[in-house]
Copies of this chain bind each other. A is one copy, B any other.
Amino acid sequence: MKERAFQDFYPDDYAVCYGCGRLNPVGLHIRSFWEGDESVCRFEPRPEHMAVAGYVYGGVIASAIDCHGVGTAAAAAARKAEGDSAPRLRFVTASLHVDYRRPTPLGVPLELRGHVVEQKQRKVVVAVRLTANGQLCVEGWVVAVPIPDSMLAK
């Protein structure tokens, strides 16, 4: 059986995100998994996701860090509360920070690795490193918080 990503556990109402929603037909479909204490996402941007020829657009990189970060936060919350990794509560992004260390090549798979660096019930901070061809290209972090009441499905 194919391993389920963190995002595969999001209820349908919360699975429409352009970045990671399995039900968003044109989105990026970011998918995240545990590998020990690290979360890993492998993602290959589409040809149109360019900044200039040959390099990935920074907004798509920010998007991948965003969804991988909040997915990791939700999975970490589930692991702490329930001992498994099936997120029951959707997290959203309070803050996002991205440092572009070198241009990210387009046309190869990118690997994002997340670490939970702070975990409280209502705030999880996830640091993310993005590599391409084994070389560090981008570092960033996400401050994730439980989805506010105003964003809950009616």
Interface residues of A (CB under 8 A from B): 13-14, 16-19, 24-28, 48-55, 57-60, 62-64, 66-67, 90, 92-100, 102-103, 147-148, 150-151, 153
- A76 → chain B, closest Cβ, in Å? 19
**Given A49-B18, A94-B99, A66–B55 Cβ distance below 8 Å?**
no
Question: What are 17 A-B contacts defined by CB distance under 8 Å?
Answer: A16-B53, A17-B50, A17-B52, A17-B57, A18-B50, A18-B59, A19-B58, A26-B48, A52-B153, A53-B153, A54-B151, A58-B93, A59-B63, A59-B66, A62-B96, A96-B98, A103-B151
Contact between A95 and B97 (Cβ–Cβ < 8 Å)?
yes
Chain B residues lying within 8 Å of A27, measured Cβ to Cβ, are 48
Contact between A48 and B63 (Cβ–Cβ < 8 Å)?
no
